[in-house]
Structure 1
Amino acid sequence: MKFYLAGRLSIAAAMAFALASCTTTQAGFRKNPERVSKSALCRTFITNTDLAFTQELTAELARRRIDPIECVNMVQRENQAAAVIVAVALVGTAVAVCANNNCGGGSSYPAYTPYRGNCQYDWQRDAAGNRCGNRSAYSRPGGY
């Protein structure tokens, strides 16, 4: 079980790390801009703060006929998809842990069985319409 939990958490962490590293460096970009994937190009364009590098990225986006708004939308969709995958992995892990640790909310008390009769409590009435009073199961020692 611990191996299963650790495996799922490591997959979630690897995905988060992979998305964070889906950018390119200036040196890698300048070496061969054509080899940079569209996703990495867009992520770098969105997160970059260097004005000169942003101009180079914009020129490459224009050369590939990619709209900067398309980049923003694509990165948002990728981030949302990654968040869904991580959430599903975490929920699956929680379900697996609960299934193995019996945390399903069951009860340790015996199942409820309804009282068979007319006088469970003293305020009720018997079959003849009289108050149960001290004849009720609740009023007797040991209950019913």
Structure 2
Amino acid sequence: MNIINSARLVVAASLSLALAGCATTSQEAFRQNPKGVPKVDICRTLLQTQDPNFAREMVAELTRRDVNPYECPSMVQKQDQAGAALAVIAVGGAAVAYCANRNCGGGGYGGPAYPGNCYSYYDRAADGSLCGYRAAMVRPGGY
């Protein structure tokens, strides 16, 4: 599996995990314990429901919690943005881990004949640090 396919897989998995927390609430769960349902989940469900009776119940619960139902779009948007930010962080971390294990940080001066990252003193290692005295051209024997 190449790095592009691996990155796509990581992105898809990260987005799935991030958005898994962005769930709506079923009528049964809401009616069993309305106080146990987070405000943002009530808002998300309120914005998506087609049932006017269920919508009234959710508006009543939000009002009981001193939440204006008109704030719901903003609350849901903030949660979505936070989920997207977490996905970006997860993807970045996965990419760093992938490259650290596969030596794909890439130096610029070694050319295609050198298999690693640190040919020159000024190249970057897979972890992003300067190669410096770890570089092949500085060490006796090269590699």
Question: Taking structure 1 as the reference length, what is the TM-score of the superposition?
Answer: 0.59
With 60-69 and 88-97 compared, the bigger mean Cα shift is at: 60-69
Partner residue, 1:79: 80
Partner residue, 2:63: 62
Cα drift, residue 64 of structure 1 = 2.2
Distance 2:42 2:84 in 1: 21
Partner residue, 1:43: 44
Cα drift, residue 8 of structure 1 = 9.8
Matched letter for residue 20 of structure 2: F
Contact map agreement 2:18 2:83 (CA 8 A) in 1: yes
Distance 2:84 2:19 in 1: 8
Cα drift, residue 57 of structure 1 = 1.4
Distance 2:56 2:67 in 1: 14
Partner residue, 2:89: 88
Distance 1:93 1:15 in 2: 14
Aligned equivalent of 1:18, options 21, 32, 36: 21
For residue 65 of structure 1, give the secondary structure of its aligned residue in structure 2: coil
Total equivalences in the alignment = 105
Contact map agreement 2:99 2:105 (CA 8 A) in 1: yes
Contact map agreement 1:9 1:90 (CA 8 A) in 2: no
CA RMSD of aligned residues (A): 2.9
Which protein shows a greater Rg? 1
Task: Mark the CA change 1:89 to 1:32 in structure 2 (over 3 Å): closer, same or farther.
Answer: closer
Cα drift, residue 12 of structure 1 = 5.5
Distance 2:97 2:81 in 1: 24
Q: Which consecutive residues of structure 2, in runs of 5 or more, have no partner in the other structure?
A: 1-6, 112-118, 121-143
